[in-house]
Structure 1
């Protein structure tokens, strides 16, 4: 229809033109010359001006289009969506996932994903609800009442309730089970008035008790029929059932790969990542190499092996642990307070924390900043002052001989530092030697394997000076590290310090639940600690947690233990989707 219509119109137009007189043709040509040709000549004269306007209009139109496009993009936002796999390299072996025995390494990492506790630490190191919704303490700090969530189920579908909490504590207290926490829970009575309430009654006041409620909870219905003496070796230890964000799907001993699948009924929200894979490695170096080559998505370490991967998000996270140089106050040389004060003031940390070592936060008192920010100069250790240090050694009778050594009554001022054989410790000892040896002090190092260090340091206390990292925790309590009751063999008072004022302060701090009152009690402790100089506070430990850029959701400032990095794993994600910001 279209083509014939056009053809018809064209023929009719031609016929009309033929009928026009000659004059009309001339007039038409004159009009064309006037309206087109001459105007074109004029346009040539102003073509630059016209071209400029054309370019400007084009630019304006293009800018408008770009703005419209950007406006459309900014109206969209990326949100996490479900799916994907996360694989992390972990050093160690998996042989027991029961929280009663999974204390460190791969066992603790996986147990922390599979099981939950009543309370957890948040990213800033504060206690927050998990299986419990709230906690109430009495004024005497010897009774704690918790309300539990009523929407929690075990991986097998059974309902979680207060009986599971009571059962877990019973196992912790049972000597036949063999948990190292049995002494910690000794004397604690657990009452369960109803399925959603638990009351803990303590034999003595103990303000730090809520921090113990980070103990992972076990299912009574799975273990009540198991002989307590056989729980460690039961099937449950390798095929656990928890309430956590993920459950164990497969343990492949040959490949060293543990596969966990998400708990779709998780009470804190269904996890985004579909599958978590933990790949086991024999040592840190091979695990780091796997990460650098992109074979795994994440790897965390506490040593100085540097990553070579470029598409990573390395997150140095503070650990609730500090490195200290402890003086054995029972040693013949170090029992003199003036000598310990002198040695403390002679330590030049700039000789230790050079570019060769990791840049860990330095500390100067028994507390980590996350426990207590100490800003009173009289509550921190004696600062570096080489001149005062020399004067105090002279006053203590250790004067320079002709050979340059400091000697008192024929005894050379000689110190041997015991330390676990790690790169970090070797660098620290080297820095201490640079601080002390120029002052006429003989300094030797005794490095032992990490496996043997515990028996040499804690069990025997057979050392002059020991370089050790202690797990300070995130509560204010420092009892186990400085109270005289812990100075004997097997205790964690590495300095073997005995002081009645410090003992009283530490004991009083355990009887108050109000934080400000507890801090007030610790002032006397800090003053005595500075004066007695039982140790040199060095640095807070760091956990170098590396993840590829595609992994999102990890944002921890401080970890009580490395396994706590998985506390919010249900919020991690690898996939996103776009949605409009205006609904």
Structure 2
């Protein structure tokens, strides 16, 4: 009887079990083309099903965790000059300094001061002695050990006026002693409530800087090739043909505590304007951008934008020693009343900020001065400032000389500041005051105008810390550089209150003193306070773990950068 095809194939498969390997190799010849295709399809289905099942099992019983790797390209406005915690003055300086250096404490980006190089600290009952215990097994980014001598060395430079550190005012009356290789003791002449913020100052390595003399300190190449104990260390930087620094490349510091960062490479690219920075971000040339001013879209429209208010106040500060017109109390009062802050917020900041008319960022005192151009004009007229020649500008005879009501505002070329200055010029021209504008590149502005106090009026911002201690901004001892009393304000009673506030450990009592200080400053009109802009940080969707909720300075966003990540890996659930 003739067998069917089905029966023949069944017989072949039965016999195949007894075939040798060589005989089995002829198997494809025993299958039809259709059978071979079917076999391949079945095998592919098996592989895919197995892979899907394995992946489902992994996803069900594992969780993604941060993994090392990835590149973050960040854009910043400005050019770094001093990657040094004692000298950093620009945003670019402070950003890179925050990455390369760390202190006994650090700001974690959530409004908290947490332990960094310090393992723990103690405060005496009278608030005069702060004892810090340094962690074991700490190393600089070059592998050298960190000890108490590095801390003493850093503070000695801060306190030495020859090194011209902007931080010096916060260390007046403080001595530091070494109890052993891992213990340092800070002794205060009198209680200073915000002292713990001082402990967040970046520590310098003594073995790197000890041979650099004060005259060479700000000129040293070490300011551009720093060694620190922060989360990252410098690999290299690129300069263009003019010598301007275009970018910095950083890698994780393997000795950073609590652990080395996850993101493998940081590249910082420097821009000259907000527009240039925004274009780079929108064209994906960078992954994140630190925006000090206005952004083109509403922060609410993008989950990749963090917008936070900062305790900083922008205003016009008057140098009454240079301008006779500004030395007149009535003129300064009229200037303050003639400012339409609502218009400034809408036109300059596009509603990305809040109006300010107080010298301190205190929530309990947040008020907005009324805008009244007519009242301003009346104040000037009553004080003898009139337009006698019909040119639209008021004048007044002072010491037998006719003085025009005119002065110059100096500021940097930041777009928001230029736009603000132009609007103020328009507002004050409407009441008969002629305002000239002098605009400078930020580096020239700081070196040639701000530091030597060569201005009649200056449009600038004051940055406060967690505790709005105004000592550096309003105490008479801070009138000269590196002090920050840019209004050159002097009032013995205010000086006494500023000193008193620093000794008040009770926060409510200290705030009452701040309010009294604020009231006295406002009555003398040494400045016209304008607004506090929001800070914006844009980042791509591939960056995770930021957790930024409260900062006092843009560079604080890096307080927990060691927790940021781009890459992930799977870990089995417990």
Moved more, 167-176 or 240-249: 167-176
Q: In the alignment, is the contact (CA less than 8 A) between 1:261 and 1:274 conserved in 2?
A: yes
1:139–1:388: structure 2 CA closer, same or farther, 3 Å change rule? farther
Query: Mean Cα displacement is larger for which, 401-410 or 427-436?
Result: 401-410
**Cα 1:431/1:351, change in 2 over 3 Å:** farther
Residues 416, 443 of structure 1: 8 Å contact kept: yes
State yes or no: 1:278 paired with 2:268. yes
Shift of residue 71, structure 1, vs aligned partner: 13
Find the counterpart in structure 2 of residue 348 from structure 1. Answer: 340
162, 165, 189: which one pairs with 2:148?
Answer: 162
1:209 match: 195
Does residue 364 (structure 1) correspond to residue 357 (structure 2)? The answer is yes
Shift of the alpha carbon at 1:265?
4.6
Give the drift of 1:424.
Answer: 1.7
Q: CA RMSD in A?
A: 4.1
Once structures 1 and 2 are overlaid, which stretch shifts more, 506-515 or 399-408?
399-408
Distance 1:401 1:491, change over 3 A: same
Alignment gaps of 5+ in structure 2: 11-54
The structure with more radius of gyration: 1
Q: Distance in 2 between matches of 1:295 and 1:105?
A: 21
1:477 aligns to what SS in structure 2?
A: coil
| Contact 1:311–1:549 under 8 Å retained in 2 | no
Within 5 A, what are the aligned runs for 1:107-506? 107-138=93-124, 141-150=127-136, 152-173=138-159, 181=167, 185=171, 188-203=174-189, 205-220=191-206, 240-251=226-237, 258-280=248-270, 286-304=276-294, 306=296, 313-330=304-321, 331-358=323-350, 359-368=352-361, 372-375=362-365, 380=367, 382-398=369-385, 403=390, 406=394, 408=396, 412-454=404-446, 455-463=448-456, 465-487=457-479, 492-506=484-498
Mark the CA change 1:126 to 1:388 in structure 2 (over 3 Å): closer, same or farther: farther
State the distance in 2 between where 1:260 and 1:488 align: 36
On the 8 A contact 1:140/1:511 being kept in 2, the answer is no
Deviation at 1:506, TM superposition (A): 1.1
Question: Structure 1 residues 553 and 206 mapped into 2: Cα distance closer, same or farther (>3 Å)?
Answer: same
- 1:113 offset after TM fit, Å? 1.7
Q: 1:148 to 1:519 in 2, by over 3 A?
A: same
Find the counterpart in structure 2 of residue 61 from structure 1: none
* Cα displacement string for residues 142-178 of structure 1 (whole angstroms, at most 9, x for unaligned residues): 4322233335333455543323322322344457767
Give me the whole-angstrom Cα distance separating, in 1, the residues matched to 2:431 and 2:215.
57
Report the Cα offset of residue 517 of structure 1: 2.2
Q: Deviations over 1:66-102 (max 9, x none)?
A: xxx9999899765433322212234555676554455
Post-superposition shift, 1:509? 0.8
In 2, the alpha carbon distance for the partners of 1:442 and 1:551 equals: 50
Distance, in Å, in 1 between the alignment partners of 2:481 and 2:562 is 43
Determine whether 1:552 maps to 2:544.
yes
How far residue 300 of structure 1 moved from its aligned partner, in angstroms, is 1.9
Q: CA separation of 1:412/1:216 partners in 2, compared to 1, >3 Å: closer, same or farther? A: closer
CA-CA distance at 1:211 after TM superposition: 2.1
Q: TM-score, normalised by structure 1?
A: 0.74
1:110-145 Cα distance to aligned partner (Å, 9 max, x none): 332232111222324443322224444446554322
8 Å CA contact retained: 1:483, 1:498: yes
**What is the distance in 2 between the residues matched to 1:536 and 1:438?**
17
Q: Where do residues 503-582 of structure 1 align in structure 2 (5 Å cutoff)?
A: 503-577=495-569
CA offset at residue 198 of structure 1? Answer: 1.5
CA contact (8 A) 1:381 1:536 kept: no
**1:329 deviation in Å?**
4.2
Q: Which residue of 1 aligns with 2:13?
A: none
CA–CA distance in structure 1, aligned partners of residues 450 and 81 of structure 2: 27
**Cα distance in structure 1, aligned partners of 2:431 and 2:210:** 64
Mean Cα displacement is larger for which, 517-526 or 157-166? 157-166
**Alpha-carbon distance, 1:508 to partner:** 0.8
**How many residues align structurally?**
512
SS of residue matched to 1:361: strand
- Any conservation in 2 of the 1:320–1:541 contact (CA below 8 Å)? no
Shift of 1:342: 2.9
Gap change, CA 1:386 and 1:557, over 3 Å in 2: farther
Distance 1:491 1:220, change over 3 A: closer
1:432 offset after TM fit, Å?
Answer: 2.0
Cα distance change on mapping 1:225 and 1:193 into 2, 3 Å = same
Using a 3 Å threshold, how does the CA distance of structure 1 residues 355 and 340 change in structure 2: closer, same or farther? Answer: closer
Structure 1: which 5+ runs fail to align? 8-68
Retained in 2: the 8 A contact 1:416–1:446? yes
Residue of structure 2 in register with 1:18 after alignment: none
Change (3 A) 1:140 1:353: same
- Give, in angstroms, the shift of residue 307 of structure 1: 8.5
